[in-house]
Amino acid sequence: MTEPLDDAVEFDELVVLALSELAEGPAPRPIVKTQLMARIADRAPAPTGFSLCFARDDDWLPHPVPGIRMKVLSISRRSGYATLLLDAQPGARFPAHHHSGDEECYVIAGSIMTLGRRLGPGDFIHADAGTEHGDLWTEEGARVLLVVPAEDYMSPTASPD
């Protein structure tokens, strides 16, 4: 086997490839061993006290607001906050709401309209607990990092950090 390996080769395919090369000769090509070891390292458990969330993980959840999905990056019941990644489709509209705790939103891509302003990539908004927030919407779609009180987004049965 002499063709280069595709970066999109799945872990299981890589293991099969490595095993098949072992059957054909004394050892897999160095690139096969390197890629296999990298994939194994990616799947190794994180040390105690750490958690990892990879972009390639397809663990998006539906959001109660139509046109929005979310990825839970972390929940800290001890500190009382959740860090979420929200992906809003073009035209999505988040209704007016009350902030029971501080809320922080960082725009990664796209744009959102809030408080009479357009926020784009790199823009940030903080809302104090007790404030009222009018509608937020996106015409083009947006991806935002949101830090909110855990109880605002997570059910009491969700697993703690």
**pLDDT for 77:** 80
Selection from 66, 68, 126, 130 nearest residue 98 by Cα = 130
For the chain, give the mean pLDDT. 81
Tens-digit pLDDT profile for residues 24-69: 566 667 777 677 766 666 666 778 888 888 888 888 999 999 999 9
Shared domain for 38 and 66, answered yes or no, is no
53: in domain: no
Shared domain for 76 and 131, answered yes or no, is yes
Containing domain of residue 84, as a range?
61-153
**24 or 88, which is more confident?**
88
25: in domain: yes
Measure the CA–CA gap between 133 and 31, rounded to whole angstroms. Answer: 53
Shared domain for 25 and 70, answered yes or no, is no
48: in domain: no
Shared domain for 148 and 73, answered yes or no, is yes
What is the crossing angle of helices 11-24 and 30-43, to 10°? 140
**pLDDT for 17:** 66
**pLDDT for 81:** 92
5 pLDDT higher than 60:
no
Tens-digit pLDDT profile for residues 115-148: 999 999 999 999 999 999 999 999 999 999 999 9
Q: Evaluate whether 84 touches 149 at the Cβ level (below 8 Å).
A: no
Q: Picking from 8-17, 22-31, 64-73, which range would have the lowest pLDDT averaged per residue?
A: 8-17
160: in domain: no
Query: What total of structural domains would you count in the chain?
Result: 2
**Which residues are within 8 A (CB) of 155 and not within 5 positions of it... i.e. 6 or more apart?**
none
Give CA angle at 43 (38, 46), nearest 5°. Answer: 110
5: in domain: no
